[in-house]
């Protein structure tokens, strides 16, 4: 079945697993779909679109009908640097706001957005070696199960009792490292992706953890696993990809490899900082301009009220502070040269342990909770990996609740407090295990939280609650760049297909710091970035890969691998097709301009401290950028993808 002429670079196999019926089907993939959508994120968007078109648009992300797909791409497991990223696609529980609410201006409901998460480590490459491109999971098992993919054979297995433990008289799932240890002992040489206690408890922002510390982080993939009674997927195989023209591939791949290596050794490229500081170099840049002498003042503080705070406190959590605890590299499979991940350890303190250094976004969003205890941030990051929870959304939700607590609106004594790591760890455990009313509440998507809070808060009205909770109206949670400072980045946050607040689908900071302004320019930059990211995710590469996908060498390498020929323009069109298809699905799920245009109220209040004091989101400018953005994307002014555009992009009915 595999390695036919049409499947060079791919295994050519899609595995469909129905957990409700126990049926497993291995199907030959459609090469035309690979040509149109490349792999990973793109192919998976197509498979979810086809599914929802057939069964009806999803009204509940926790329903068994929520298809979740984990897969890889043609470049995975090749010698191209960073070719180890896997894809997970599903309708996100975190972006769920099922009713019109007066406090959201009666905006239309959003029933969960089509979301894609990318994850490094080994899992995606191992799934490919096991002979599967996409593992498509439907239904819900009637008892806890796990999936084993072993050398092309796919099985649903009953979950072993050892995967559970008892906590306060309740049966709960073990931590992700314990699950991974157990399954690795059972299947030597394999790789595992699993949900943890957070996903088992269906926390709306639970993630999936692969190979101990890599995550399909955002959107709630772990909760979807939990809702399906699915604990883990373990993969093992030894198959290598076939090449259309191996000699030519090796020749062009070597040129690409050398170019990336050159960028890592060139101080003008941000890639040159990654082997040492990873993403944490953004801390210095966001706070004080960092090594390039730019203007900082956009590291969020006190639930996004400010972008600047006491520099003496900052020193404790700076790029240098996290460099002091860094150890050796611990990178994704097939990562070469860029090597952004390092171990870290702290000793002789209440948080003494060894794991991996947290990423910039995680640290920034814990600083946003006024936490300036490096050891505690490091430990919280470790706990999030162990419990299987997205550090970013958790940080945003936690900061919002802290503000409600600070203002005296919350009755619960269990509420976390700004700057207090102990209260944050306790609140995290309440959320993960649902041990208090507050913990159970905060595990839900934010608009359900607001509805329930309003019935119980003392003194607070809807405006105060929405002001504190920046994830309101089906938001994913804003990332670690203060949203008030860069209008382009605010547009990237507002229009990301996977939900408001996401920073990975477009990134504008360097361009805006270099002088990019004007509604049309900013809109074009964001739309172009989103197309580039759709390509990155669909190729199985990392965001930090430095080569241009549309260069003659890259396209020749891709032809030599897959046999597919593209021009620069037709390759870019794949990215535009993927972005439009995702948006079309999201339109059916309820997303329109109302969603993109929503500005969390506190972002209208100017910063008062630091070099960006006075900055706030300008609603007039933002609306002008949105107009230009929709025009650029060829969508309607209401943010809808017209059917004619689907035809123009060759999106199949």
> Which residues contact ligand SF4 by CB under 6 A?
82, 84, 120, 331-332, 335, 338-341, 542, 544
Separation between Cα atoms, residue 237 and residue 216, nearest integer Å: 21
Q: 56 or 267: whose CB is closer to ligand SF4?
A: 267
Task: State the minimum distance, in angstroms, from the CB of residue 334 to ligand SF4.
Answer: 7
Q: 399 or 535: whose CB is closer to ligand SF4?
A: 535
Task: State the minimum distance, in angstroms, from the CB of residue 270 to ligand SF4.
Answer: 11
Separation between Cα atoms, residue 212 and residue 183, nearest integer Å: 12
Two tokens, residue 155: 């099985």
Q: 48 or 335: whose CB is closer to ligand SF4?
A: 335
Residue 534 sits at the vertex; the CA angle it makes with 497 and 56, to the nearest 5 degrees, is: 50
Q: How far is CA 625 from the centre of its chain?
A: 25
Q: How far is CA 123 from the centre of its chain?
A: 16
| β-strand partners of 147 | 156, 233
Q: 154 or 340: whose CB is closer to ligand SF4?
A: 340
Separation between Cα atoms, residue 149 and residue 132, nearest integer Å: 8
Q: 118 or 508: whose CB is closer to ligand SF4?
A: 118
Task: State the minimum distance, in angstroms, from the CB of residue 343 to ligand SF4.
Answer: 12
Q: 317 or 339: whose CB is closer to ligand SF4?
A: 339
Q: 285 or 467: whose CB is closer to ligand SF4?
A: 285
Q: Which of 424, 378, 433, 372 is nearest to 398 (CA)?
A: 424
Residue 221 sits at the vertex; the CA angle it makes with 130 and 450, to the nearest 5 degrees, is: 180
Task: State the minimum distance, in angstroms, from the CB of residue 332 to ligand SF4.
Answer: 3
Q: 174 or 533: whose CB is closer to ligand SF4?
A: 533
Task: State the minimum distance, in angstroms, from the CB of residue 340 to ligand SF4.
Answer: 3
CB-CB contact of 342 with 330 (8 Å): yes
Task: State the minimum distance, in angstroms, from the CB of residue 120 to ligand SF4.
Answer: 4
Separation between Cα atoms, residue 214 and residue 86, nearest integer Å: 10
User: What strands lie across the sheet with 145-150, from one edge to the other?
Assistant: 153-158, 145-150, 230-236, 191-194, 208-210, 214-216
Q: 193 or 338: whose CB is closer to ligand SF4?
A: 338
Listed as own residue / partner, the contacts of 47-51 with beta carbons closer than 8 Å and 24 or more positions apart are 47/14, 47/89, 47/134, 47/136, 48/89, 48/90, 48/91, 48/114, 48/585, 49/581, 49/584, 49/585, 49/651, 51/138
Task: State the minimum distance, in angstroms, from the CB of residue 273 to ligand SF4.
Answer: 11
Task: State the minimum distance, in angstroms, from the CB of residue 85 to ligand SF4.
Answer: 7
Task: State the minimum distance, in angstroms, from the CB of residue 213 to ligand SF4.
Answer: 11
Separation between Cα atoms, residue 103 and residue 499, nearest integer Å: 20
Separation between Cα atoms, residue 380 and residue 391, nearest integer Å: 9
Separation between Cα atoms, residue 128 and residue 403, nearest integer Å: 46
Alpha-carbon distances, residue 496 vs 121, 324, 608 (angstroms): 25, 35, 28
Task: State the minimum distance, in angstroms, from the CB of residue 549 to ligand SF4.
Answer: 16
Q: 88 or 338: whose CB is closer to ligand SF4?
A: 338
Alpha-carbon distances, residue 580 vs 212, 590, 597, 637, 644 (angstroms): 34, 15, 18, 15, 11
Q: 140 or 357: whose CB is closer to ligand SF4?
A: 357
Task: State the minimum distance, in angstroms, from the CB of residue 344 to ligand SF4.
Answer: 14
Sorted by sequence, the CB contacts under 8 Å of residue 321 that are 6+ apart come out as 315, 374
Q: 46 or 337: whose CB is closer to ligand SF4?
A: 337
Separation between Cα atoms, residue 104 and residue 97, nearest integer Å: 10
Task: State the minimum distance, in angstroms, from the CB of residue 373 to ligand SF4.
Answer: 26
Task: State the minimum distance, in angstroms, from the CB of residue 288 to ligand SF4.
Answer: 25
Separation between Cα atoms, residue 362 and residue 306, nearest integer Å: 17
CB-CB contact of 87 with 539 (8 Å): no
Q: Is 389 helix (H, G, I), strand (E, B) or coil?
A: strand
Handedness of CA 193, 199, 204, 205 (dihedral sign): negative
Task: State the minimum distance, in angstroms, from the CB of residue 357 to ligand SF4.
Answer: 11
Q: 205 or 544: whose CB is closer to ligand SF4?
A: 544
Q: 339 or 625: whose CB is closer to ligand SF4?
A: 339
CB-CB contact of 472 with 500 (8 Å): no
Q: Which of 170, 183, 168 is nearest to 231 (CA)?
A: 183
């Amino acid at each position: 079945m595999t390695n036919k002429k049409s499947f060079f670079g791919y295994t050519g196999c899609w595995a469909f697993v129905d957990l409700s019926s126990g049926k497993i089907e291995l199907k030959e993939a459609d090469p035309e779909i690979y040509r149109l959508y490349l792999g990973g994120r793109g192919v998976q968007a197509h498979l979810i679109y086809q599914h929802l078109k057939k069964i009806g648009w999803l009204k509940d992300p926790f329903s068994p009908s929520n298809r979740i797909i984990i897969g890889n791409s043609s470049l995975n497991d090749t010698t191209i640097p960073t070719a180890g990223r896997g894809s997970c696609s599903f309708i996100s529980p975190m972006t769920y706001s099922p009713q019109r609410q007066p406090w959201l201006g009666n905006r239309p409901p959003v029933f969960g957005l089509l979301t894609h998460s990318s994850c490094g480590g080994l899992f995606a490459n191992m799934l490919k070696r096991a002979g599967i491109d996409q593992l498509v999971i439907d239904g819900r098992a009637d008892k806890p199960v796990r999936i084993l993919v072993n050398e092309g054979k796919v099985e649903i297995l009953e979950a072993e009792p050892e995967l559970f433990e008892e906590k306060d008289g309740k049966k709960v799932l073990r931590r992700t490292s314990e699950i991974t240890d157990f399954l690795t002992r059972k299947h030597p040489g394999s790789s595992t992706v699993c949900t943890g206690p957070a996903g088992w408890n269906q926390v709306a922002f639970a993630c999936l953890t692969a190979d101990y510390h890599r995550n399909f982080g955002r959107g709630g993939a772990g909760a979807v696993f939990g809702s399906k009674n699915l604990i883990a997927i373990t993969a093992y195989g030894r198959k290598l990809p076939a090449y259309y023209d191996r000699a030519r591939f090796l020749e062009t791949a070597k040129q690409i490899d050398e170019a990336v290596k050159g960028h890592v050794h060139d101080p003008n490229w941000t890639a040159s900082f990654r082997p040492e500081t990873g993403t944490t170099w953004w801390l210095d840049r966001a706070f004080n301009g960092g090594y390039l002498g730019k203007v900082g003042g956009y590291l969020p503080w006190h639930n996004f009220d400010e972008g600047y705070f006491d520099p003496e406190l900052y020193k404790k959590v700076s790029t240098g502070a996290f460099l002091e605890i860094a150890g050796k590299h611990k990178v994704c499979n097939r990562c070469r040269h860029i090597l952004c991940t390092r171990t870290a350890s702290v000793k002789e303190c209440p948080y003494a342990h060894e794991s991996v250094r947290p990423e910039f976004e995680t640290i920034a969003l814990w600083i946003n909770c006024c936490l300036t205890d490096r050891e505690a941030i490091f430990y919280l990051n470790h706990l999030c990996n162990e419990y299987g929870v997205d550090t970013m959304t958790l940080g945003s939700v936690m900061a919002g609740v802290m503000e409600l607590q600070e203002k005296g609106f919350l009755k619960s004594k269990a509420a976390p407090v700004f700057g207090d790591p102990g209260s944050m760890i306790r609140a995290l455990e309440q959320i993960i295990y649902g041990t208090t009313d507050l913990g159970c509440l905060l595990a839900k998507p934010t608009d359900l939280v607001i509805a329930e809070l309003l019935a119980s808060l003392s003194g607070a009205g809807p405006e105060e609650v929405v002001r504190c909770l920046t994830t309101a109206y089906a938001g994913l949670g804003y990332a670690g760049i203060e949203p008030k400072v860069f209008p382009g980045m605010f547009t990237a946050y507002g229009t990301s297909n996977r939900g408001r607040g996401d920073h990975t689908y477009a990134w504008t900071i360097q361009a805006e710091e270099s002088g990019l302004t004007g509604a049309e320019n900013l809109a074009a930059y964001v739309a172009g970035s989103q197309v580039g990211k759709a390509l990155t995710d669909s190729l199985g590469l990392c965001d930090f890969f430095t080569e241009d996908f549309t260069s003659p060498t890259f396209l020749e390498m891709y032809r030599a691998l897959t046999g597919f020929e593209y021009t620069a323009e037709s390759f870019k069109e794949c990215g535009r097709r993927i972005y439009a298809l995702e948006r079309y699905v999201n339109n059916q799920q309820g997303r329109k301009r109302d969603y993109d245009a929503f500005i969390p109220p506190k972002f209208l209040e100017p910063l008062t401290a630091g070099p960006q004091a006075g900055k706030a989101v300008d609603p007039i400018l933002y609306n002008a950028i949105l107009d230009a953005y929709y025009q650029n994307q060829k969508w309607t002014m209401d943010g809808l993808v017209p059917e004619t555009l689907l035809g123009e992009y060759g999106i199949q009915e």
